[in-house]
Amino acid sequence: MKGRKPKLTVVEGNVMPNRCPGPTAWLSDSAKAEWRRVAPLLHERKLLAPDTMATLESYCVAVGIVRDCSQPEVVESSLFGSQTVGQSPARMKTMFAAMREARLLAAELGLTPHRRGAKAQEEGKKDGEWDSDLLA
């Protein structure tokens, strides 16, 4: 490209400046409870944007499936058929797959203790101490 280049401008991310959005209507009760727990944290950290809403929905669905599968009183369901709790390998497979998916999505959203711990260590870091750069 010949000629003078255009000036660079700082572009703000697509952070939602308003209040935290509520859960989607089609989510299950367990998924809505997880949304109400997690969404304010993400909104406070300015990580909740229109492009991360689908990831948050998927995370809440996965956590909702895990909670629904782990409830002993849920024996008959359209998803698992009419089997008892101890005889439902499909239910266990579904629960473990949802747990794995929830763990991966939580890491992607920055909800894991490892991500929170790294942020807390950066904030509490004191420069000038003899051990300040040992684990850097």
Q: Mark out the alpha helices in 45-88 (DSSP H runs).
A: 53-70
21 and 53 Cβ atoms separated by less than 8 Å = yes
d(CA 107, CA 17): 24
Cβ-contact 33, 66 below 8 angstroms: no
Instruction: List, for residues 61-71, the tens digit of each pLDDT value.
Output: 999 999 988 87
CA pair distance 42, 48, nearest whole angstrom: 5
Alpha-carbon span 110 to 58, nearest angstrom: 14
The answer to whether 72 and 33 have CB atoms below 8 angstroms apart is no
**How many angstroms separate the CA atoms of 19 and 42, rounded?**
12
**In this predicted structure, what is the pLDDT of residue 12?**
64
In this prediction, residue 20 carries a pLDDT of 87
Task: Give the type of residue at 26.
Answer: W
Low-confidence ranges of the chain (pLDDT < 50): 75, 78
Token pair of 56 as six digits: 């948050």
